[in-house]
Amino acid sequence: MNQNQIELSQKVDDLIQLFADTPVVDPREAKKRYSRFFREVLAKMRDGGTSYGQASGSPEFLGQDEESFPIFMKEADQDLAWQCGTVSQAFRDYLENGEIPAPHYPMRVAILLRKTKEIDRERKFLAMWCKHFPSGNGATYAALVKRAKKVGAIPA
């Protein structure tokens, strides 16, 4: 294993550990946090004339123009370190404000781990993701759960 692979493995392990060390947030509590957060965001938008992204503190990369964003994402989709950082930050934001993370980024982590034949890390990652987000609205959330079951990360 070269130095880059070791560093990438450590980033994944750190993300898994973050999920493992964090107690699951009760869904009612997450909903209360999100309601409070959303009211604050709406007030900032109304009072400051800002966009949702600006008022909510969305990641800067989401504010790119329509031409730049797909180019950026094409590279980011293959960058495991970037994906881990994005999932980690989205999870920390969720703990604070109750906004459930977008499923695209954890799906990319799982896919990239599979591509590099890091099956055990993929299994651990999916188990920890599903510990906190056992369901969700939308096809990608369902696909994450299905993938977790398929690799034995959670009971089928």
In a domain, 155, yes or no: no
Measuring CA to CA, which residue among 73, 82, 103, 79 is closest to residue 91?
Answer: 103
pLDDT by residue for the chain (156 residues), tens only, comes to: 678 888 888 999 999 999 999 999 999 999 999 999 999 999 999 998 888 888 998 888 888 888 888 888 888 899 999 999 999 999 999 999 999 999 999 999 999 999 999 999 999 999 999 999 998 678 999 999 999 999 999 998
In a domain, 18, yes or no: yes
Number of domains the chain is built from = 1
In a domain, 69, yes or no: yes
In a domain, 156, yes or no: no
In a domain, 146, yes or no: yes
Residues in contact with 1: Cβ distance below 8 Å, sequence separation at least 6, in sequence order: 9
What is the Cα 77 distance to its own chain's centre?
Answer: 13
Provide the residue range defining the domain that includes 37: 3-150
CA–CA dist 1, 81 (Å, integer): 16
